[in-house]
Structure 1
């Protein structure tokens, strides 16, 4: 989750000089060879899937791989990395809301309360006045990126075939590479000037949040429960806000600190409520 938070800072650096789809294309072009090496090293094979699952994979890649990355970078052209960090922290709550609305899952009351508190925190942080004018357009684009990532999570749960995580990462990266190449054509990537700083930031995004983030997440998830893993998502916005201040030298305002506290508290409260809901049946069963 620290690497996920650092992706916000890397995206801010890239967005300053490169258009979003070209940057996305370069990210996946750099990440795919490493994923293929990992796949061969672990002996992972691509599963056979029905056509419906392939359609879902393409839609997932369009939403998660392309929509999230491109909208995040486009938003960061106008929004501060600190504000984006707080908005990205909404991801687990927005994903839970999508599951309720689209999958008909039964929500517990903690979701609505957590959403209200988190949204209040985002409005507090991004709506407060400061020396630099706040960009609502940039913030809305970042929020759109969070929605795209939530759609990605939703579509993955609709697949009929169980795809190993590494194979899924390879497929998402390969499809994302093709889709971003098509989307980048109007940006004429062959005519752009590629600065050293932007290329290093893209390489970092490709290798650390994408490849290393995958390895760390699944290695950790294998050692703890799903509820504990979901709680760890609260680390991402805190890491992003901290790194925005240290790396980009963005000032951290009291409003941003308060907004981060609201979002962090809401995510943790919702995650703990879900954890208690999971553990309650096993506790009563043991007592019985």
Structure 2
């Protein structure tokens, strides 16, 4: 289940590549959320989820999470893929665990460990391998957008940790979808005259809404409930590998040596962050 969940995350890079150039990013983001809501709301009703009482600060944190993790990540990913091959973007997306851990040190004041420093170093090597082959300012713009998407998603993870009463997974996903739709709609209306979606772009948005947003959520939390947190984190390495493989199989991109080195480096970074924790003895009850 965790493997399939991370494969859907990797597929968002390919879907965003189909969307880029055909739909403005905020318009595509709003459409994604609008398509996901009719699936999520019935799931809430079936599960009989109740909305908890939230403090004003938690409500504000939810809004910030939606702006960063839901809208910022998607719009920057789509924007970046207007300038970069999908395989390059997949490598950069794989730096998310290392960047998130680095954010925890910088913002939450957690003590940096040797594992974190090694992982950040490996993730940097992965990004530099992609940058090494890039040529021209457009590639740099694309890389900046994808790195911005990673930073937005890291901020989402960090803000969620700051909530006094974290929401249950299905409520969290639905809240991010509703708030993400509300945040993206004003700009989406302005972009409407520039939207020229083809059939491939529309199919990609539908895929993005139903498979990674809804299906990926169900698979991830279903699998994560059966393993430890460190074991679940290890499976994030599947996402960049899937993105690079799908870039070759679906988009016909030629995978170069620099991209192979990059994806290997970010996968090693993820393993460095997680494997030592897995090797700790499990206390016997």
| Matching residue of 1:223 | 226
Secondary structure of 1:70 counterpart: helix
Tell me: CA distance 1:238–1:247, structure 2 relative to 1, closer, same or farther (3 Å).
same
What's the offset of the Cα at 1:140?
1.0
| Matching residue of 1:259 | 262
Give unpaired runs (5+ residues) of structure 2: 1-5
TM-score (norm 2): 0.94
TM-score (norm 1): 0.93
| Matching residue of 1:17 | 22
Secondary structure of 1:135 counterpart: helix
2:243 maps to 1:240: yes
Q: How does 1:38-187 map to 2 (within 5 A)?
A: 38-128=43-133, 135-187=139-191
CA contact 2:248–2:254 (8 Å) conserved in 1: yes
| Counterparts of 1:120 and 1:133, CA distance in 2 | 20
CA contact 1:124–1:258 (8 Å) conserved in 2: yes
Cα RMSD of the aligned pairs, angstroms, is: 1.6
Tell me: CA distance 1:190–1:37, structure 2 relative to 1, closer, same or farther (3 Å).
farther
Per-residue deviation, residues 174-195 of structure 1 (Å, max 9, x unmatched): 00000010122331x1563332
Give unpaired runs (5+ residues) of structure 1: none
2:3 maps to 1:2: no
What's the offset of the Cα at 1:232?
0.4
CA contact 2:160–2:166 (8 Å) conserved in 1: no
What's the offset of the Cα at 1:273?
2.5
Tell me: CA distance 1:273–1:134, structure 2 relative to 1, closer, same or farther (3 Å).
farther
| Counterparts of 1:16 and 1:193, CA distance in 2 | 9
| Counterparts of 2:126 and 2:113, CA distance in 1 | 21
| Matching residue of 1:210 | 213
| Counterparts of 2:119 and 2:166, CA distance in 1 | 31
| Counterparts of 1:59 and 1:125, CA distance in 2 | 30
CA contact 1:3–1:213 (8 Å) conserved in 2: yes
Runs of 4+ with deviation above 3 angstroms: none
